[in-house]
Amino acid sequence: PELKNKYLELKKRRGGKKAVIAIARKLLTAIWHILSKNEVYSAKLYRKADKPPAARELTMTQAITFLRSKGFLILDEESGEVL
């Protein structure tokens, strides 16, 4: 059930094909850990890694760099110059 919910969540945001690949990778990672470390599967271990950090803070420079990397053009309101 946890994989189905994750798939449906990803499908909404990224599309069906990317969601399938993400779930396949998650399964392969779990299988690798089970076989290499000889441990029992525990869904709790994989759920914890899926959650983003509770509080994300960016500096102004980090925010501008992030927006530039996504293709946004940043303009200074006062001078009209591109930052």
Could you write out the three-class secondary structure of the chain?
CHHHHHHHHHHHHHCHHHHHHHHHHHHHHHHHHHHHHCCCCCHHHHHHHHCCCCCCCCCHHHHHHHHHHCCCCCECCCCCCEC
- Report which secondary-structure segment, H or E, holds 25: helix 16-37
Domain of 14 in residue numbering reads as 1-53
Greater confidence (80 vs 70) lies with 70
Whether the per-residue pLDDT at 62 is higher than 80: the answer is yes
In a domain, 81, yes or no: no
In a domain, 74, yes or no: no
In a domain, 42, yes or no: yes
In a domain, 63, yes or no: no
In a domain, 30, yes or no: yes
In a domain, 59, yes or no: no
In a domain, 34, yes or no: yes
Write down the pLDDT at residue 45: 67
In a domain, 44, yes or no: yes
pTM: 0.52
